[in-house]
Structure 1
Amino acid sequence: MAVLRDWGLTLGKWAGRPIARVQRDSGDPDVERVRKAAAAADWPTVRDVLEARPESEDRTELVRAVGDTAGVERWISGIIEAEPDAPLPRLVGGFRYISWGWEARTRAMASQVSRAQFELFHSRLRTAEQWLYESAEREPLWTSPWLGLQMTGRGLQVGPAVARRRFEAAVRRDPYHLGAHQQHVQQVCDKWGGSHEEMHAFARESALRAPGGTLLGQLVATAHIEHWIDHDPGSRGAYMRSAATTASLREAADHSYRHPDFVRSGGWLEVVNTFAMAFSLASDHVGARECFEASEGRVTASPWHYLDDDPAAAYREQRRSARR
């Protein structure tokens, strides 16, 4: 199954209803601007776009967009050498080598990845780690390097203690950083050496400990989707439709996007898409319709790629079911 990391939206109309499509960004024009500059090796423009944004969530999508752009690896090392004291080139280089590393590994099952692929994967991640640590040393208050180090740490299998320290370093700088929490949910889930119990406990505690209206409610929905995936096909439906799962989703929704202090900014669209899928799988059609209406046909690839290689097709199918 293809894994589509970038997400975004476009909105068409058919018979008065939104036609959902997945694009490569969230609709922020600076994402496409910085991606084009990166593809053209235009470092001054990349730097200007990134420096114009505050650290943390406001810049995370932009940095990851540069990191996901093919060819950045051909010129970023030269910028790093030319600017030995600058943290930003190292941050960009780190995120590019993370993405480039996963390109070498591919998204195949570990048993299907060759030794040569793993060696290249690990080599690129180790380079990313070096640059990210150097970026963190030069800008001790930045969150982004620690987000990247969470990602490299999982690929390099640094172990739960180190992974936890990296997560804690990120949230010391930004306590409610969605990306850092998303990474740690993956770190503690069963498929990465954690457990379902640890994953659910972390997700619920993080979501409910945060002030009402933050994006962190998504963690609860993500945890249930991850647990659903791990069930045998015959028992998946029963798990998601259980009273405990439904109550957990509603509790998290009430504390997140349903809360009066919720603001549609940052990763809000991914939040309502995640709840839309979780409520759909739970057969909570009222909750699902609420999220589909909030998204207005705007689709984020995650988590719909778990249902279909075409996330928009999965979104449309579940939206039709919710309207019945």
Structure 2
Amino acid sequence: MLSLLFKPKELLAVLRLLREAKRLGVEIDELPPDVVATHVLPRTHPERYGLTPDAEVTTTPPIEDLALAAVLDDVRAGNWENAADLVTSTAGDWDRRQRVVSALADLAAKEDAWTYSWLAARPGDPHWVVVHAMSLVSLAWDIRGSAPSSQTTRAQFDGFHRVLADAREAAEVAVSLLPDDPTPWVMQLMVARGLQVPHDEFGVLWEELVARDPLHHNGHLQALQYWCRKWQGSDELALEFGLAAAAKSPRFAALPLHAAFESGSPEMWRRAAVVRAVDVLVARLEDEGADTGVLRGDRGYAAFGLVQLGRYEEAVGQFRALGAFADGGPWEMFEEPRIAFLTLRGMAVRAAVKGKRGRSWGGRGQVGG
């Protein structure tokens, strides 16, 4: 985590951390993230610039869907009926359905007794099958974890692949029961990425998804991940996909920035196509707020890209619009999302105030000199 936040030349910050670690009787890498942040984050007094104070920034998102929040509370209390009804009601509102199914599946991956109460009361309910299939996808990714392959054990990989195979079978059942629903096809994309299927096989799944919903937001995000170098693609293929999606609809204007971030390369941000994509996204966001997770993610990537391009005052404007929320991308890609948000925000403010060129973050947790 410390390598994320400073370079060796930042000796004073390192010395402060060493003193604090000694005072607490721990190693420097064992210091709590908030303690590290106190000593190494840029001290910029954000409230002077219309920004939320550091202490108020949170990774907890605001409640956007009251009905979903209520059924999640019901499920935690062991009551499944309202959850089942909500899933059923989302048919046709595919982006919301994806959010509802994913949220319930995440709970089911940790405790699934309520799902079997649902099944017992409503045998053959196709919407149960969708949630069950997605819960297997969620469970598989929980088993694998988010660490790089080099830090993932053989047991984790074996469990990951075994549960993904079960998820694929369950998703195929969901497809047969709800042939017009794109949600099982998004699951198929996630499974295909994890199993690293060949490009042609992935392409078939992709065509099935877009035949049902050409502008499915989460489906496009999942596909872009497949085309990244870390999975089955390359930096070029991911950028190509992101640019094609952005050309298709303004709602995907941030996807080229996702691709640049995933590359981990500061040079990628300086490509003409990526610079244009940043401009297009910033222009689109002028008429938007930050009241949904998707919009906050788009603004987060815009802020990140603007810092790469040395456009610090514009980046500060994006952080101002984000307010207290560091709940989406790209912050979620870092080990400590809140600290990543505060660090980049502090860099942008300090550079904007001083009119100097700051450090460049290439992406994927890397910090350039």
TM-score normalized with structure 2 length: 0.72
Correspondence 1:201 to 2:237: no
Secondary structure at the residue paired with 2:157? helix
Matched with 2:41 is none
Gap runs ≥5 in structure 2: 2-45, 353-369
Amino acid at match of 1:278: G
Q: Are the counterparts in 2 of residues 98 and 151 from structure 1 also a CA contact under 8 Å?
A: yes
Q: Given the alignment, which residue of 80, 95, 102 partners 1:57?
A: 95
Q: CA offset at residue 223 of structure 1?
A: 0.8
Secondary structure at the residue paired with 1:191? coil
CA distance, structure 1, for counterparts of residue 273 and residue 172 of structure 2? 42
CA distance, structure 1, for counterparts of residue 117 and residue 197 of structure 2? 29
Q: 1:22 to 1:264 in 2, by over 3 A?
A: closer
Q: CA offset at residue 222 of structure 1?
A: 0.4
Correspondence 1:27 to 2:55: no
Matched with 2:335 is 309
Q: 1:287 to 1:137 in 2, by over 3 A?
A: farther
Q: 1:57 to 1:279 in 2, by over 3 A?
A: same
CA distance, structure 2, for counterparts of residue 74 and residue 198 of structure 1? 42
CA distance, structure 2, for counterparts of residue 181 and residue 225 of structure 1? 16
Q: CA offset at residue 219 of structure 1?
A: 0.5
Matched with 2:300 is 273
Q: Are the counterparts in 2 of residues 63 and 95 from structure 1 also a CA contact under 8 Å?
A: yes
Q: CA offset at residue 162 of structure 1?
A: 1.9
Correspondence 1:186 to 2:225: yes
Q: Are the counterparts in 2 of residues 50 and 63 from structure 1 also a CA contact under 8 Å?
A: yes
CA distance, structure 1, for counterparts of residue 113 and residue 81 of structure 2? 16
CA distance, structure 1, for counterparts of residue 240 and residue 289 of structure 2? 23
Q: CA offset at residue 204 of structure 1?
A: 0.6
Deviates more, 1:313-322 or 1:215-224: 313-322
Secondary structure at the residue paired with 1:301? coil
CA distance, structure 2, for counterparts of residue 22 and residue 261 of structure 1? 21
Amino acid at match of 1:178: H
CA distance, structure 2, for counterparts of residue 127 and residue 180 of structure 1? 20
Q: Are the counterparts in 1 of residues 136 and 167 from structure 2 also a CA contact under 8 Å?
A: yes
Matched-pair identity in %: 25
Matched with 1:159 is 198
Q: CA offset at residue 301 of structure 1?
A: 3.5
Q: Are the counterparts in 2 of residues 215 and 257 from structure 1 also a CA contact under 8 Å?
A: no
Q: 1:188 to 1:225 in 2, by over 3 A?
A: same
CA distance, structure 2, for counterparts of residue 82 and residue 51 of structure 1? 15
Question: C-alpha deviations, 1:249-297, integer Å up to 9, x for none?
Answer: 213444x434x69996562222112222222233222432332233233
Q: 1:26 to 1:203 in 2, by over 3 A?
A: farther
CA distance, structure 1, for counterparts of residue 202 and residue 101 of structure 2? 21
Q: Are the counterparts in 2 of residues 41 and 72 from structure 1 also a CA contact under 8 Å?
A: no
Amino acid at match of 1:209: K
The 5 A counterparts of 1:28-177 are: 28-53=65-90, 54-69=92-107, 70-77=109-116, 79-80=118-119, 83-177=122-216
Q: Are the counterparts in 1 of residues 57 and 338 from structure 2 also a CA contact under 8 Å?
A: yes
Q: Are the counterparts in 2 of residues 276 and 291 from structure 1 also a CA contact under 8 Å?
A: yes
CA distance, structure 1, for counterparts of residue 134 and residue 257 of structure 2? 26
Question: C-alpha deviations, 1:33-84, integer Å up to 9, x for none?
Answer: 2322333342212112223334311222221111111544344356446645
Secondary structure at the residue paired with 2:161? helix
Correspondence 1:250 to 2:276: no
Matched with 2:321 is 294
Q: CA offset at residue 118 of structure 1?
A: 2.0
Secondary structure at the residue paired with 1:132? helix
CA distance, structure 1, for counterparts of residue 63 and residue 260 of structure 2? 24
What is the aligned length? 300
Gap runs ≥5 in structure 1: 2-12
CA distance, structure 1, for counterparts of residue 118 and residue 318 of structure 2? 43
Q: CA offset at residue 184 of structure 1?
A: 0.8
CA distance, structure 1, for counterparts of residue 201 and residue 289 of structure 2? 33
CA distance, structure 2, for counterparts of residue 202 and residue 250 of structure 1? 18
Q: Are the counterparts in 1 of residues 290 and 296 from structure 2 also a CA contact under 8 Å?
A: no
Matched with 2:35 is none
In our comparison, the structure showing a higher alpha carbon Rg is 2
